[in-house]
């Protein structure tokens, strides 16, 4: 397995020389953080063994949300939290995709465009819920932004995990829809297209002349929701590439693999290391932008409504497994060591004050 940091460290100068005119501050920062991960540049932690007197120095992770070498616990914690919100109803994975002709616009206006995508998609689903008499008008939506295709090309799209039920505000009851059909995907695409273009017009942006009139959406049955959550959790905090899929680095050429969606077969791509690095870095989000959103009764301000639904539907919540943080074992006597000092940048912090 080849580490992304190894490629980044060896080819960062060539990357900046080739793509520096396109790279933004967030790309340069992500590159520095990935290279420094688990190195002295990320800091240092000095451990002392009270039993045998040995000392050991460890280097922390960088903590960057696009670094594939860390943030594993963050992914797991997010998945556990979302599982606590599942209801005993059918779920659907609804996807909204922008056409290829709009990708350049999105790339050059990322923060505005991503926010507009969230709002247009959310308002689209709200409209469909209110129109369907078998559903309550207050829904609960979980949205996740993906900017990559399986080949790691720039391909912005939104995934929504949607329970087939909602709260009827007028009668203060829960209404749900059964079966494997929720909404017509083509109709979802038409409404989403109209709402996104309206937002572009209101912001005085122009739609490219070659933009197609037919956009693509998808609405797939997702069982009880757990499988959809597991799928979305993969790339939330570790970037878009898994290091196990980086197969080799030979003579400046990187070979990586991806799984084809239809055949499930793994296909390899070999390209110069600089092109591979940019293929990965182009998916770094604007600083501070949240990739995932909760709406309706799943929003953080609607905890009372969610608890009311869970009581009414007799939900048995899965236990939250809190794993004890493992201490650092002494390499000599195997006793748990004590953190004596920690360095973050130029700051030295005593272990007793941490």
Rounded CA separation 55/331 (Å): 9
> Would residue 317 count as lying in a domain?
no
Instruction: Give residue 234's pLDDT.
Output: 83
Report the alpha-carbon distance of residue 241 to residue 44 in Å, rounded. Answer: 27
Domain contains 338: yes
Q: Based on the domain organization, do 264 and 204 belong to the same domain?
A: no
Asked if 22 and 123 sit in the same domain, the reply is no
Query: 260 and 123, same structural domain?
Result: no
Q: Domain limits at 143?
A: 72-240+290-312
- Total domains in the chain come to 2
Hey, how many other C-beta atoms are within 10 angstroms of the C-beta on 201? 11
Is 322 inside any structural domain?
no
Query: Residue 168 sits in a domain of what CATH number?
Result: 3.40.1310
Single out the residue of 316, 243, 251 nearest to residue 83, CA to CA: 316
Tell me: do 162 and 81 sit in the same domain: yes
Question: Given this model, what pLDDT does residue 220 score?
Answer: 95
Same domain membership, residue 294 and residue 278: no
114 and 216 assigned to the same domain: yes
pLDDT under 70: residue ranges of the chain: 320-325, 345-346, 351-354
Phi-psi region of 19 (alpha: psi -120 to 50; beta: other; left: phi over 0): alpha
DSSP state, 336? B
Cα 123 from chain centroid?
21
Same domain for 20 and 124, yes or no, is no
29 plus 114 within the same structural domain = no
230 and 91 together in one domain: yes
3-state helix, strand, coil in the chain (%, to 5): 35, 25, 40
Helix/strand/coil for 236: coil
- 203 shares its domain with 248: no
160 plus 255 within the same structural domain? no
326 lies in a domain? Answer: no
The answer to whether residues 248 and 345 belong to one domain is yes
d(CA 333, CA 90): 53
The pLDDT of residue 11 is: 97
Strands 253-259 and 55-58: unpaired
The answer to whether residue 177 sits within a structural domain is: yes
Q: Is residue 328 part of a domain?
A: no
The verdict on residue 325 lying in a domain is no
Element (H, E) at 126: helix 110-131
Angle at 118 between CA 278 and CA 232, to 5 degrees: 60
319 in a domain, yes or no? Answer: no
What pLDDT shows up at residue 182? 94
Q: Which of 166, 183, 159 is nearest to 89 (CA)?
A: 166
Report the alpha-carbon distance of residue 271 to residue 249 in Å, rounded.
10
């Amino acid at each position: 397995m080849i580490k992304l940091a190894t490629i980044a460290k060896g080819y960062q100068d060539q990357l900046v020389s080739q793509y520096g005119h396109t790279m933004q501050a967030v790309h340069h920062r992500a590159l520095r953080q990935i290279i420094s991960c688990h190195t002295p540049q990320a800091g240092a932690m000095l451990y002392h063994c009270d039993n045998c007197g040995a000392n050991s120095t460890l280097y922390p992770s960088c903590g960057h949300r696009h670094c594939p070498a860390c943030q594993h616990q963050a992914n797991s914690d997010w998945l556990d939290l979302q599982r606590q919100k599942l209801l005993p109803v059918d779920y659907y994975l609804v996807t909204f995709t922008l056409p290829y002709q709009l990708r350049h616009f999105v790339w050059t206006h990322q923060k505005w465009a991503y926010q507009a995508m969230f709002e247009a998609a959310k308002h689209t689903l709200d409209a469909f819920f209110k129109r369907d008499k078998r559903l309550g008008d207050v829904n609960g939506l979980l949205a996740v932004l993906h900017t990559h295709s399986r080949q790691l090309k720039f391909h912005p799209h939104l995934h929504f995990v949607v329970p087939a039920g909602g709260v009827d505000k007028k009668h203060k009851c829960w209404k749900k829809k059964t079966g494997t059909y929720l909404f017509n995907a083509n109709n979802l695409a038409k409404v989403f297209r109209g709402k996104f273009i309206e937002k572009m017009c209101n912001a005085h942006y122009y739609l490219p002349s070659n933009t197609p009139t037919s956009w693509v959406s998808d609405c797939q049955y997702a069982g009880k929701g757990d499988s959809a959550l597991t799928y979305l959790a993969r790339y939330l905090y570790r970037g878009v590439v898994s290091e196990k899929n980086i197969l080799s680095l030979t003579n400046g050429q990187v070979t990586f693999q991806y799984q084809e969606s239809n055949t499930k077969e793994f296909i390899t791509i070999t390209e110069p290391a600089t092109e591979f690095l940019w293929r990965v870095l182009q998916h770094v989000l604007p600083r501070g932008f949240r990739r995932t959103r909760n709406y309706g009764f799943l929003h953080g301000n609607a905890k009372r409504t969610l608890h009311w639904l869970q009581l009414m539907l007799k939900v048995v919540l899965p236990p939250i497994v809190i794993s004890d943080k493992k201490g650092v074992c002494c390499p000599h006597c195997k006793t748990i060591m004590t953190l004596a000092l920690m360095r973050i940048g130029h700051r030295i912090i005593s272990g007793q004050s941490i």
